[in-house]
């Protein structure tokens, strides 16, 4: 039987450790860690993600500050808010909830975030440190995937790893993290030829194309590990039911693999947990607290 990489269970275990860490250390530093989340516009999925992050913060003892801006706001105003939060001593982490409306220069806004508070790990300085394999905050979804693999002692070193997708959010950083951990990584994308054949060589296959059910059993080697990053809401033809699925046609693939991540309950919860880890990492650095988190930041 194949092994389910249960992100929900692991995230609750990590949260328990984070909660204790905050509980012990807040008596020393006299304040809880603080996370600012900026949401722009009315994208409903973003609304759900921000709510989940807020709830996760309150479970472990991080104070969250939610800024929900209208999409009529100007780029300059968001930059000013970021500058203010950069200087705010009660804020350890700043997250810009993506995607944001197209009229904004997303990369410029991310560059405005103080790298020490860049809990999404997307600022040039943190990406640069990832390229150089130096310690820093790591982007949440890829770091969550590495922790899921490690939690079941799945070997990365020397393994053939194929990543589908080359986005700054997922494909590139997960490829770099796995490369830093001595995997042999192939990065693929929408212009890749013979994707099916390349994927069939993978010991570990990471699907982050953002295409529902793209990967069926024909893409997968017998005994491989498959990580499904995609998340899609599919509405039934009568529009009555909404079902979540990933990039992987799981029912087809599960009988063939050694291990897989479910959707929901796989990569998603780990992404939220890594946001908490990064926020506490920043808090811990600011106050020179002892660290037990470095192992979680690949």
**Where along the sequence are the contacts to ligand NAD (CB under 6 A)?**
141, 164-167, 169-171, 188-190, 192, 195, 208-211, 214, 229-231, 267-268, 271
Query: What letter would DSSP give residue 118?
Result: B
Q: Do the beta carbons of residue 141 and residue 124 sit within 8 Å?
A: no
Does 97 participate in catalysis according to the annotation? yes
Q: Which of 92, 118, 120, 203 is catalytic?
A: 120
Does 53 participate in catalysis according to the annotation? yes
Please write down the HEC assignment for all residues of 210-260: CCCCCECHHHCCCCCEEEECCCEEEECCCCCCEEEECCECHHHHHHHCCEE
The residue among 189 and 197 lying less far from ligand NAD, judged by its C-beta, is 189
Structural tokens at position 34? 């603080």
Q: Which of 6, 92, 97, 228 is catalytic?
A: 97
Min CB(167)–ligand NAD separation in Å: 3
Q: Could you list the beta-strand ranges (E) of 41-140.
A: 63-69, 93-96
Min CB(275)–ligand NAD separation in Å: 10
Min CB(24)–ligand NAD separation in Å: 29
Min CB(48)–ligand NAD separation in Å: 12
Backbone angles phi, psi at 273, to 5 degrees: -60, -40
Q: Which residue is nearest to ligand NAD (CB)?
A: 167
Q: Do the beta carbons of residue 288 and residue 29 sit within 8 Å?
A: no
Q: Give per-residue burial for 118-151: e unless 16+ CB within 10 Å, then b.
A: bbbbbbebbbebbeeeeebbbbbbbbbbbbbbbb
Does 211 participate in catalysis according to the annotation? no
The residue among 167 and 184 lying less far from ligand NAD, judged by its C-beta, is 167
The residue among 66 and 244 lying less far from ligand NAD, judged by its C-beta, is 244
Q: Cα–Cα distance between 298 and 296 in angstroms, integer?
A: 6
The residues annotated with a catalytic role in the active site are 53, 97, 120
């Amino acid at each position: 039987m194949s092994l389910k990489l249960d992100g929900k269970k692991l995230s609750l275990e990590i949260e328990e450790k984070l909660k204790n860490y905050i509980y012990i250390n807040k008596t020393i530093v006299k304040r809880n860690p603080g996370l600012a989340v900026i949401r722009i516009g009315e994208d409903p999925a973003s609304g759900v993600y921000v709510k989940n992050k807020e709830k996760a913060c309150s479970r472990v003892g991080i104070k969250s500050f939610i800024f929900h801006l209208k999409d009529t706001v100007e780029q300059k105003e968001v930059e000013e808010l970021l500058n203010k939060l950069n200087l705010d001593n009660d804020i350890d982490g700043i997250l810009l909830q993506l995607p944001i409306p197209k009229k904004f220069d997303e990369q410029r806004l991310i560059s405005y975030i103080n790298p020490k508070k860049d809990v999404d790990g997307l600022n040039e300085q943190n990406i640069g440190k990832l390229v150089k394999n130096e310690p820093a905050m790591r982007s949440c979804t890829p770091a969550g995937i590495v922790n899921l693999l490690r939690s079941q002692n799945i070997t990365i070193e020397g393994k053939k790893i194929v990543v589908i997708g080359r986005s700054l959010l997922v494909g590139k950083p997960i490829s770099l993290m796995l490369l830093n951990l001595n995997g042999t990584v192939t990065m693929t994308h929408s212009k890749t030829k013979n994707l099916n054949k390349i994927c069939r060589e993978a010991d570990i296959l990471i699907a982050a194309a953002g295409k529902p059910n793209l990967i069926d059993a024909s893409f997968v080697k017998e005994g491989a590990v498959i990580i499904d990053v995609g998340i899609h809401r599919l509405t039934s033809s009568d529009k009555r039911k909404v079902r979540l699925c990933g990039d992987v046609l799981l029912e087809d693939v599960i009988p063939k693999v050694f291990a897989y991540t479910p959707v929901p309950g796989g990569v998603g919860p780990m992404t939220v947990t890594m946001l908490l880890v990064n926020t506490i990492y920043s808090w811990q650095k600011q106050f020179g607290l002892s660290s037990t988190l470095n192992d979680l930041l690949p």
